[in-house]
Structure 1
Amino acid sequence: MDGYRDKNGVKTQLGFKAFFVPTFAGEGKGQMFSQFPGAEYPVLALSAYSGSLGVDSGLPQNVYQLDTSKMNEFKNEDDELLKKMLRPGEKLDLPDGGGSITFDGIEEWASFQISQQPGNGLALGGAVAAIAGLAASLFIQRRRVWVRAVRGADGVTVVEMAGLGRSESAKLPEELGDLAAALITTAPVAPEKPDAPENPDTNEAGSRPVHPAEAPAEGAEK
């Protein structure tokens, strides 16, 4: 509070520390605490200070914390620190006619925050897809297949296939055979070699008949 003048007319500043509980537990039961969140028995514990608040220094300050390093706390007639617990409608009088501060009452209110995040649906869909993919990877048996095609000297291309299972399975040879059968239906097959033509000079037994001119003469020396 700025613009206040003390009993000597000197301009000074006032500061107050307050602690509020909505349902006071009562004196003699330890420090101030509330027995219930509702305002059943509200009490405000108040203490007053005078001096310099430091608001004229130009430095930023915390509005929720009172800096009392350059302030003095008010004292009552018994030279004790001035503190008082106020109920709604009660007031705290400052000494030497310095004024008073009143606890007028309580106004209950509620704060609501409404936000919209359009990307939540996409994030949820991505998370569900990732979980589904991870679950599918636990049941799908992965395979590695190598295919090598080598052309021989006769111009025929020989295709070789091999497979490796990431998990133990007896179906790997069968699956590799099914893949080879599927490739045969689309890949060209080398034509079969024609049979060698039969020699007309050979008989069924495989021997060639001898020409009369080639037959040895009777009585010739052997």
Structure 2
Amino acid sequence: MKGPEKNKPYRFSMGISIALFLYFGVITTGALTGYRMPEQEKAVDLAFPMEDGVFTVGHGGASTAINYHHDVAPQAYANDITQLHWWGMRASGLSPENLKKYRIYGTPLYSPCSGEVTTAVDRYDDLSPQEDPDEEASPAGNHVILSCDGTEGHLAHMKPGSVEVEEGQMVESGDRLGSVGNTGNTTEPHLHIHAERDGEGVPITFDGRFLKRNSLVFD
């Protein structure tokens, strides 16, 4: 003889609750792990490459839970950085088509380290927000790569016509490189920055601070 049918939904709901608990537990653990500074002895300390504003990190940290770049070895510790208006929003509107409505658009970029410019690309047009780039275009769009004491620093998605350095040029920390734009594989204006050695991502600190998703920088 079968037991009461009313026990089945209870057992079913308990199973779902346990599964959800385990799922969100794994997600939370991954996120918390990503907020910790990894391999501090391998980190490179850079100067923050923008000035005169409030900046926030969209993607950043040491796990895919808070940094979708983390699965790509050279970009494992990349930061995607936007800028905030005084009222705390990154743009005037939720997702405006006009690039100039994004606070960070056109913000000057400065060299985060002293070294040599190994790559300087300035040939791509800005895209509209959410617009897919041309398949043949560089995902980095207009960008600069610096070699500083054996570490490569990549700054991507720069504004057309703004790149002020050329390959082979020596720069000092604080020299102007260009301006933030919306070129390459990007959904809205922001600075993508990462560091790598021999194709492997290197943790970045800015003035001694490891930035993660939602970190704020007042400069």
Q: TM-score range by the shorter chain?
A: under 0.3
Larger Rg: 1
Q: Which has the higher strand share?
A: 2
Structure with larger RCO (C-alpha < 8 A, sep 6+): 2
TM-score by length of 2: 0.22
